[in-house]
Amino acid sequence: MTPFDTEDMRFLVAVDVTHPNDNDERLNLGGELRLFERVAVRGGYRFGYDIERATLGAGIEAPLGDVVSRFDYAYTTYQLLPNVHRISLGMVF
């Protein structure tokens, strides 16, 4: 769902609920604030999971001629394990 959308800024909200037959219900909430179609700030939280909880992240896109390069970073908190940093680099042709 996009509750806020202008030419320079867009806010996206996502909700996912699962009811597996072999486990407890799980709820995932997330949001993304995108600025000027180039910079994104993201956050989310997972309910009903044993160890994983919150995730924060950001991304940036830069056009290089006909190619768009992307850089994304995410930080995930865990209850029993060490927290995790994720980095992603990509190119769209």
pLDDT, one tens digit per residue, over 60-74 is 999 998 999 999 999
What is the arithmetic mean of pLDDT over 40-68? 92
Token pair for 54? 């919150």
Task: Return the half-sphere exposure (C-beta side, CA atoms, 13 A cut-off) of residue 51.
Answer: 7
Per-residue pLDDT at 93 exceeds 90:
no
Start-to-end Cα distance in the chain: 28
pLDDT the model gives residue 8: 94
pLDDT the model gives residue 50: 78
Token pair for 21? 């037959």
Dist. CA 50–CA 52, nearest whole Å = 6
Bridge partner residues of 10 (DSSP): 5, 34
